[in-house]
């Protein structure tokens, strides 16, 4: 089979596993504040999309999520299937969408500008914030019975994180630009 048509060759499997491991490490680099802790997960999941592309990036983050749901302590507060009832689980699901969006924006170009990486990083953040905020709203209001407005959720889970995530985007874009040529992709 032609190498370009194979998505699951050994190299791809190793790189997907590497980014799943980096996502796990990113969960433990944290500053616990409010409902949503500051972690490095978004940085690593965005890098997965920037460097591996939309499909492989999303697969690597999905591996991370599956590992957590089967009970491995890879999430910020452990693991297990019960994690799906955590209000912040939507942000974890958003990592998959974010990696996919980042990879989609970068595309399969050999030469990618820093500005395109940055746009892709911002797209990753937007996807993560959107999915995470919707999920948080559903769990808080429908499952837990709290009456939390969208504005309050944004003030709690999104707005305080924007400055740090902009810095993360600058860093992830710079790293992707620097190491893209050194990865055997």
Task: State the DSSP string of 53-69.
Answer: -HHHHHHHHHHHHHHHH
Over residues 107-131, mean pLDDT: 94
Strand-pairing partners, residue 30, are 39
How big is the chain by its Cα radius of gyration, in Å? Answer: 16
Whether the per-residue pLDDT at 143 is higher than 70: the answer is: yes
For 152-166, the DSSP string reads HHHHHHTGGGHHHHH
Task: Find out whether 117 and 106 touch, Cβ atoms under 8 Å.
Answer: yes
- What residue numbers bound the domain in which 10 lies? 3-182
CATH number, position 173: 1.10.1760.20
Tell me the average pLDDT across 112-133: 97
Q: Does residue 121 surpass a pLDDT of 70?
A: yes
Lowest mean pLDDT among 27-36, 77-86, 122-131, 146-155: 27-36
Q: How many domains does the chain have?
A: 1
pLDDT at 1: 45
Give me the mean pLDDT over the 152-173 stretch: 94
Cβ atoms of 81 and 69 closer than 8 Å? yes
The pLDDT score that the predictor gives to residue 5 is 56
SS3 at position 12: helix
Angle, helices 114-138/41-52, rounded to nearest 10 degrees: 130
Confidence of residue 165 (pLDDT cuts 50, 70, 90): very high
- Looking at residue 151, its pLDDT comes to 96
pLDDT over 90 (residue 70):
yes
Average pLDDT on 59-82 reads 94
pLDDT above 60 for 3: no
* Burial readout 84-123 (b: 16 or more C-beta within 10 A, e: otherwise): eebbbbbbbbbbbbbbbbbbbbbeeeeebeeebbbbbbbb
Residue 141 has a CB neighbour count (10 Å cut-off) of: 16
SS3 36: coil
Other CB atoms within a 10 A radius of the CB of residue 6 amount to: 11
Give yes or no for residue 31 having a pLDDT over 90: no
Which of 29-43, 145-159, 161-175 comes out lowest in average pLDDT?
29-43
On average, the pLDDT of the chain sits at 91
Give the pLDDT score at 78.
Answer: 85
């Amino acid at each position: 089979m032609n190498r370009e048509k194979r998505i699951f060759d050994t190299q791809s499997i190793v790189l997907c596993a590497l980014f799943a491991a980096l996502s796990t490490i990113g969960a433990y680099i944290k500053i616990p504040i409010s409902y949503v802790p500051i972690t490095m997960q978004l940085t690593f999941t965005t890098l997965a999309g920037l460097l591996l592309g939309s499909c492989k990036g999303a697969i690597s983050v999905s591996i991370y999520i599956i590992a957590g749901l089967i009970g491995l302590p890879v999430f910020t507060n452990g693991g297990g299937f019960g994690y799906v009832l955590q209000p912040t689980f939507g942000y974890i699901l958003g990592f998959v969408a974010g990696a996919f969006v980042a990879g989609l924006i970068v595309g399969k170009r050999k030469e990618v500008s820093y500005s395109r990486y940055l746009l892709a990083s911002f797209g990753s953040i937007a996807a993560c914030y959107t999915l995470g905020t919707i999920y948080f709203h559903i769990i808080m209001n429908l499952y837990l019975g709290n009456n939390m407005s969208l504005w309050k959720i944004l003030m709690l889970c999104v707005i305080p994180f924007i400055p740090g995530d902009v810095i993360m985007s600058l860093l992830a874009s710079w790293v992707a630009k620097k190491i893209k040529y050194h990865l055997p992709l």
